[in-house]
Structure 1
Amino acid sequence: MLSNPTPAPATAVEAAMVAFETALQGLRDVGFGELSNNRDRLDLVQRFETGTRTIAGFGTVLIADMQEQWIPGELGDYRLADVLADTLRIYPSEAKARRRIAEDLGPRTGFSGAPLDPVYPNTAAAHRDGAIDRAHITVIREFFAQVPSYVDAETREQAEAKLAEQARILRPDQLRRAGNRILAYLNPDGNAPEVDRDRKRTFILGKQGTDLMTKGSFCVDPELRSYLEALFAKYAKPGVGNPHDADSTVDAEPTDEVAHRDERSVGQRQHDALTMVLRDALASGTLGQHRGLPVTVVATMTVKELEDASGTAITGGGSLLPIRDVLRVARHAHHYLALFDDDDGRPIYLGRSKRIAQGDQRLVCYARDKGCTFPGCWRPANCCQCHHCREWVAELGLTDVDQLALVCDSHHRLAGVKDTDWHTIVAGPDHQYPGRILWVPPKHVDPTRKPRINHYFHPHEYWDLD
């Protein structure tokens, strides 16, 4: 009896991929029980490592090619990194890191259409050969981030070739030490020009931990350091601004007794000093507006949470703020606090006939949406603008709060009325989440066009999912 022949692969790439997947399945089926000694096992682990690195090199080339031909919204999102994160189910930070590596190690095309070598050609070759892994690449990229701007192109090329050569035989930690020696040779005086100092300046606020505390890192320029020194000289002295001492002062010189009982460390006093200065700056009203609201703290919570003085509010920046801290903040300045019903949490109705959403409407959106409504987006409310779920028409359109949605700048570009755009609708009263914003994907993203909702800012809803 004749069986139906297996269709031939459409391309040579597909044929090779089928053979590769078949070989992987074969390894899974065979297992490794027949290996009798650790030398054989180690050799196989080494071969697997080379194969894994080679596959990563293939991915780098593909990501670089996608970046060269990228059309925003073509695959369902505006940024390639977001598409990679969603498709591969990896951290957005990991997706961005892979894209940046592809920019440096992937093939490029010039303005004339002629192919160009990668930014780091020797490192790219070692990556494709499976000789180096991600850690080696990170060391090399960090090395060039520290190379002074006055070093000429030829010297940079020689350094890259030498580092790539050493990466094939050294561990990443050993490669870093070799890179430091090369860097010391290139910059023996160690005096970075102003342009290099400017390139290094950074202030990164990390993510909140489970204890609601936040770690970060910074590298400040001489100007900011001078400001901090002046600030700490006054506000970080023992006995000044101690939140645990009612007798602690700010304006007057603290008494010896108050200063003596201040048990805070230097780091804690400097932390509290920054808190005081930033609180005063926000309360001053001189910082202008951001997206239609004064630059200040916007916190949302339920009436029950406020009455019980327990739980956490969520700020416009997406942070969690304990209710007791909200009450303390409210004593110092007129910040924004939006209170919503405990049962359904639905906002009150506010209508406007102007094109721009008013400040009170933005507050309602802050409280209801808490951040970008696009499925899976994590950007907080103060990084969003108000999007009209019904397309606004100058003659007839209304800017009503129940038809507004918070959307970040990136995903706002995806919304529209064409068949290739994402559409936004408001969930009806019979929906599981009435009044919430639903995003309907275009057919090329989801042929069924099933509406999607963002649960990121409403984590309790994840328990409701089937």
Structure 2
Amino acid sequence: MSSSTVVADEAAEAALAALSAALDSIAALPTTLPEKVQLDILRGLESAARRIPALGHNALLKVLKAPDEVFGNQRNRDVVADALRITRHELQRRIGEAEDLGERTSLTGQPMPALREHTAAAQRSGLIGRDHIKVVRDFFRHLPNSVDIETREVAEETLATLATTMRPDELKKAADRLDAHLNPDGIFDDQDRARRRSFHLGKQGPDLMSTGTFTADPELRADLEVLFAKWAKPGMCNPDDQSPVVDEEPTEEIASKDRRNTGQRQHDAIKATCRAMLASGDLGQHRGLPVTVIVSTTMNNIQNLAGHAVTGGGSMVPLREFIRLGAHTNHYLAIFDDSDGRPLYLGRSCRIAKPDQRIVMHAQHRGCTFPGCTRPGYFCQCHHCKAWRAQNGATDADELTFACEFHHPLVGETENDWTTTPCRAGRYRGRTLWIPPAHIDPQRKPRINHYFHPGEYLLDEDDEDCRQRIR
């Protein structure tokens, strides 16, 4: 290691230590200071809080571009999210902000100013914060492609200057007015519309309901209009009816008894459409299985009609809806024994996992088993814990596990690779242990992904028990 690298490391450590010491000094200030002094403290803290993200933009972009071997061949995005203990969604927001406000280089390696140069300067000065930046970024996200570069640069400078003297809500008003000035007729081309199309399905709430938002292009809107005209009229696709009307026209009596509002009828129409497509068999296969719903639960939950089931996408389904799913299409429902967590049936030995074995993995592992990974089972590949060819591993359900496309390549036979093995005993029996290479963890302590089994976060981790699992 060169001396310059050591100095750079020492300088970084000294700077971070000084920052921490400054925060300790502020924390030690007496609470009896006059109110005007307290207001000055708030201003200073707000300015510092706004500057700190700007200092991290270049570091974030550099870490993301690091060669694979720097972080043990792990996906750089996962390394950052785990190191900072932030969600992947928050990481994506920070990446987008860094790409707009961080330094750039030309194709020849020459330094270039930030894409939003004036906004970046205002953030570095501590004059604007995250909400101001969101207004500016949203403005350009919605600006038509027809607006030329020079006009865009003037608009960015104008908004950045206004942001230094306005609250975010005031800036939003100014941005909307500027948008109306630059595009008074609301003219957008096909590329603008294609860029704005989206569908976002939010997280499940405590009641297991999900809120989503979407921006539909004209073609999707036309499709939805005809769908709702048929299946969202009163009396159609009503789950409250013993035999919901789907193909034929509902009678006046059935329609008059329909107490759903328009939004509820449209929701049920979309659900009926999805159900019909899944039942048709026209969606082909995904990772060796027909495209259909895979849901798992335990025998104890079935007997008591309590708890919930888990889908291959990681969402939860109430037990009564779990049972109702079994009456529709060809959904796969897997049930587990509560006593030891093992599936009630196993697959057969061959090179490629059979569909029934994949179903067992959906039910048992629910998603990628690499520690901390959040990719659900629908997006994972089958992995032999014991290599099928090199170690004569069997393709049995209890020897298979899930690994996503990012973490599956990390497993290998060299000293720089991760290894996997099924947990043979203890509270995690049947789960997959990932053993890191020595350069990541000299003790090579086995790790388990608890993300899809959140109740395990509340359990104490015993080092000795962890070692016993692989014996």
**Shared fold, TM over 0.5:** yes
Deviation digits for residues 307-331 of structure 1 (CA, Å, limit 9, x no counterpart): 3333211111111111211222222
Per the normalisation by structure 1, the TM-score is: 0.92
Counterpart in 1 of 2:257?
A: 261
Counterpart in 2 of 1:293?
A: 289
Kept in 2: contact 1:81–1:99 (CA 8 A)? no
- Correspondence for 2:428 among 426, 429, 433: 433
Q: Secondary structure at the match of 2:70?
A: coil
Alpha-carbon separation, structure 2, partners of 1:212 and 1:34: 47
Counterpart in 1 of 2:21?
A: 22
User: Which range is displaced more, 72-81 or 238-247?
Assistant: 72-81
Per the normalisation by structure 2, the TM-score is: 0.91
Alpha-carbon separation, structure 1, partners of 2:403 and 2:149: 43
Name the aligned partner's letter for residue 31 of structure 2: G
**Cα deviation, residue 395, structure 1:** 9.8
Aligned pair count?
454
Counterpart in 2 of 1:43?
A: 40
- Correspondence for 2:112 among 109, 116, 137: 116
Counterpart in 1 of 2:464?
A: none
Q: Is 1:411–2:407 an aligned residue pair?
A: yes
Evaluate the alpha carbon distance shift between residue 10 and residue 340 of structure 1 in structure 2; reply closer, same or farther with a 3 A threshold. closer
Evaluate the alpha carbon distance shift between residue 10 and residue 393 of structure 1 in structure 2; reply closer, same or farther with a 3 A threshold. closer
**Cα deviation, residue 254, structure 1:** 1.7
Match runs of 1:333-412 below 5 Å? 333-347=329-343, 348-354=345-351, 356-393=352-389, 396-412=392-408
Q: Secondary structure at the match of 1:326?
A: helix
**Cα deviation, residue 50, structure 1:** 0.8
**Cα deviation, residue 73, structure 1:** 5.9
Counterpart in 2 of 1:422?
A: 418
Q: Is 1:150–2:146 an aligned residue pair?
A: yes
User: Which range is displaced more, 209-218 or 124-133?
Assistant: 124-133
Counterpart in 2 of 1:463?
A: 458
Alpha-carbon separation, structure 2, partners of 1:426 and 1:260: 57
- Correspondence for 2:322 among 310, 313, 326: 326
Kept in 2: contact 1:389–1:425 (CA 8 A)? yes
Deviation digits for residues 131-163 of structure 1 (CA, Å, limit 9, x no counterpart): 111111111111110111111111111111111
Evaluate the alpha carbon distance shift between residue 402 and residue 268 of structure 1 in structure 2; reply closer, same or farther with a 3 A threshold. same
Evaluate the alpha carbon distance shift between residue 154 and residue 434 of structure 1 in structure 2; reply closer, same or farther with a 3 A threshold. same
Match runs of 1:434-449 below 5 Å? 434-449=429-444
Alpha-carbon separation, structure 2, partners of 1:85 and 1:285: 38
Evaluate the alpha carbon distance shift between residue 165 and residue 80 of structure 1 in structure 2; reply closer, same or farther with a 3 A threshold. farther
Q: Secondary structure at the match of 2:407?
A: helix
Evaluate the alpha carbon distance shift between residue 72 and residue 257 of structure 1 in structure 2; reply closer, same or farther with a 3 A threshold. same
Kept in 2: contact 1:64–1:103 (CA 8 A)? yes
Alpha-carbon separation, structure 2, partners of 1:77 and 1:52: 33
Name the aligned partner's letter for residue 463 of structure 1: L
| Unpaired stretches in structure 2, ≥5 consecutive residues | 1-6, 462-471
Q: Is 1:454–2:452 an aligned residue pair?
A: no
Deviation digits for residues 196-249 of structure 1 (CA, Å, limit 9, x no counterpart): 011111111111111011100000111111111111111111111211123652
Evaluate the alpha carbon distance shift between residue 283 and residue 113 of structure 1 in structure 2; reply closer, same or farther with a 3 A threshold. same
Alpha-carbon separation, structure 2, partners of 1:252 and 1:333: 20
Q: Is 1:81–2:77 an aligned residue pair?
A: yes
Query: RMSD of aligned C-alpha atoms?
Result: 2.1
Counterpart in 2 of 1:3?
A: none
**Cα deviation, residue 396, structure 1:** 4.6
Kept in 2: contact 1:248–1:258 (CA 8 A)? no
Alpha-carbon separation, structure 2, partners of 1:9 and 1:85: 24
Kept in 2: contact 1:82–1:95 (CA 8 A)? no
Q: Secondary structure at the match of 1:443?
A: coil
Evaluate the alpha carbon distance shift between residue 243 and residue 16 of structure 1 in structure 2; reply closer, same or farther with a 3 A threshold. closer
Evaluate the alpha carbon distance shift between residue 462 and residue 174 of structure 1 in structure 2; reply closer, same or farther with a 3 A threshold. same
Counterpart in 2 of 1:4?
A: none
Name the aligned partner's letter for residue 192 of structure 2: D
| Unpaired stretches in structure 1, ≥5 consecutive residues | 1-7
Alpha-carbon separation, structure 2, partners of 1:145 and 1:94: 18
Match runs of 1:96-135 below 5 Å? 96-135=92-131
Alpha-carbon separation, structure 2, partners of 1:294 and 1:119: 45
Kept in 2: contact 1:143–1:183 (CA 8 A)? yes
**Cα deviation, residue 441, structure 1:** 1.8
Deviation digits for residues 50-74 of structure 1 (CA, Å, limit 9, x no counterpart): 111112211223212323x422363
Deviation digits for residues 332-365 of structure 1 (CA, Å, limit 9, x no counterpart): 22211112212112134433232x2221111111
